[in-house]
Amino acid sequence: MPGKLLVIDDDTAERAALKVKLTSAAYEVSQTGSGKEALRIARRDLPDMILLDNTLPDMSGLDLCRRLKTDRRMAEVPVIMIGSRNDPTARIAALEAGAEDMIARPLDDLALLARIRSILRARGVAAELALREGTRQALGFAEPAGEFVQAGRICLIAADQGTAGLWRRELMDRLRDRIEICTPAQALREAGKVAPDLFVIAADLSRDGEGLMLLSELRSRPATRHAGIIMAVDSAVPASAAMALDMGASDIVSLPLDFTELALRLKVQLARKRQGDRLRSRVRDGLQMAVTDPLTGLYNRRYAMSHLARVRERAIAAERSFAVMLIDLDNFKQVNDTHGHTAGDQVLKSVAGTLGANLRAVDLVARIGGEEFIAILPNILPEAALKAAERLRAAVCASPITLPHVSDQTGPVSLIQTVSIGLVTGGGPEETEMSLAELLHRADKRLYGAKKRGRNRVCVSASGRAAA
């Protein structure tokens, strides 16, 4: 089933007819004729959407909508109210009560189903983002401090400049946001820059359907994919509204515009855009935190092992060699014991920076343990890999590290840190039987050999053959 819908209407015949339409579209439909029963069913079933008649025997539809929106469990369930006539005042009251929209009878099946699909699609995306945000918080990532909410940026695209100017003047009296006028060409150029938060676009511009084509283009471009887009459509052509919603419009308004209604819809869409941006940003941050070492900023072991597996697979397929280095700081415990853990952190960060600065852009360096790093070098010959390892070792030696002030010192302390490196090179058909665990075991043995031979040196193993 694509969704659970609750129909609330005291007219049995209307309720049954609506259920038939929705069931034929594969929705799971429950129904009732009273407000009190509707509250009970909604709390029990948690529907994906509610279709609510404006007139009920025990309470008004507006009152029921307000009660649903103040219920913590039901607040996010979208509500479409159904009125007996196309009344702008009633529609504004419904929007103010928290409804997604109010549509008038007789219901247009095409427009109604498109509206339902659009709302459920948007709700599904929001729910997925919220779920990922919940996972992020469960992993212990702190809630960011409250941010100052900046004014939004709204772009108006009408059939002509005079109409767009009228829209702007009317909205400026109702909103505190930045309101601009642009052409379709300017809107598409914005798709490569920082895009507006919202667009209001007439469905018909210089020619019929041009606004709908612009909607499709904006939805296909990364910079404007998540922008709110409200389409202004001719109320006499309901097919345009249905098409706009199915093409990705966030909302629709009818021409001629009621600017109080448009301002309300813009406020709702702007709030949703901000919430979506916050959640997407937190998800990206959470994913980044999941694969990044917080001290050094390098990738962590989880990411490095996945990356190594991909490098090995490609090397085998292309019959090319690659290299893996295990890099360990020499005598690091003495740094912590002598200068403290803050100084130790500074050494780790400094060495991480030196390693990253002395590898190719295609190479990867990650911190995989306390003072242990890994470097993964794809598509490199054994001789070049050995030179790279020696370059890293020498670069760390040649980079004095200034430690922060410590309690028993009168000023900064400078020290030279050295590293030992175990290097394994491999790839090609002969490596197909060697697992990642075996590869890392060989690198670890070479690292142990470097330590045993006096530290600050490189030991290498090529295709399983070891050399000092």
Q: What is the mean pLDDT of residues 293-308?
A: 90
Start and end residues for every CATH 3.40.50.2300 domain found in the chain: 1-107, 149-285
Looking at the annotation, which residues are catalytic?
371
Residues of the chain with CATH 3.30.70.270: 301-467
Residue 22 has pLDDT above 50, yes or no: yes
Mean pLDDT across 135-157: 66
- Minimum mean pLDDT range among 93-97, 286-290, 341-345, 444-448: 286-290
Q: Highest mean pLDDT: which of 127-136, 173-182, 424-433?
A: 173-182
Its CATH class, for the domain covering 149-285, is alpha beta
**pLDDT at residue 330 greater than cutoff 70:** yes
Q: How far apart are CA 110 and CA 276, in angstroms?
A: 28
Q: Per residue in 164-173, pLDDT tens? A: 999 999 999 9
Q: Write down the pLDDT at residue 221.
A: 87
Q: Averaging pLDDT over each range in 60-74, 130-144, 331-345, 413-427, which range is the top one?
A: 60-74
Residue 308 has pLDDT above 60, yes or no: yes
pLDDT of 433: 57
Q: Is the pLDDT of residue 251 over 90?
A: yes
* Burial (CB count <10 Å: 0-12, 13-18, 19+), residue 226: middle
Averaged pLDDT, 138-163? 74
**Residue 223 and residue 192 in contact, taking contact as beta carbons nearer than 8 Å:** yes
Share of the chain above pLDDT 90, in %: 61
Q: Which CATH number fits domain 301-467: 3.30.70.270, 3.40.50.10470, 3.40.640.10, 3.30.70.100?
A: 3.30.70.270
pLDDT, mean of residues 125-133:
58
* Res 129: pLDDT: 54
Does 321 have pLDDT greater than 80? Answer: yes
Whether residue 6 has pLDDT greater than 90: yes
Question: Using 50, 70 and 90 to split pLDDT, how confident is the model at 465?
Answer: very low
Q: How high is the pLDDT of residue 276?
A: 83
Per residue in 179-218, pLDDT (tens digit) is: 999 999 999 886 556 789 999 999 999 888 899 999 999 9
- Range from 67-71, 238-242, 269-273, 424-428 carrying the lowest mean pLDDT: 424-428
For residues 417-440, one letter each, b for 16 or more C-beta atoms within 10 angstroms of the residue's C-beta and e for the rest, the string is bebbbbbbbbbeeebeebeeeebb
Residue 8 has pLDDT above 90, yes or no: yes
pLDDT of residue 39: 95
pLDDT tens figures, 58-91: 999 999 999 999 998 899 899 999 998 888 999 9
Distance between CA atoms of 192 and 316, rounded to whole angstroms?
Answer: 39
Query: Of how many residues is the chain composed?
Result: 468
User: Looking at domain 1-107, does it have CATH number 3.50.50.100?
Assistant: no
3-state DSSP call for residue 26? coil
Does residue 371 surpass a pLDDT of 50?
A: yes
Mean pLDDT of 370-395: 94
The pLDDT > 70 percentage for the chain reads 87
Is the per-residue pLDDT at 468 higher than 50? no
Helix residue ranges, H only, 182-340: 184-190, 210-220, 238-246, 259-291, 301-318, 332-339
Mean pLDDT, range 456-461, rounded to an integer: 90
The pLDDT value recorded for residue 428 is 55
Query: Mean pLDDT of all residues in the chain?
Result: 87
Mean pLDDT in residue range 253-270: 95
pLDDT the model gives residue 464: 39
Strands 413-415 and 401-403: antiparallel
Distance CA 294, CA 142 (A): 14
Integer Cα distance of 359 and 375 in angstroms:
9
Average pLDDT over residues 260-277: 92
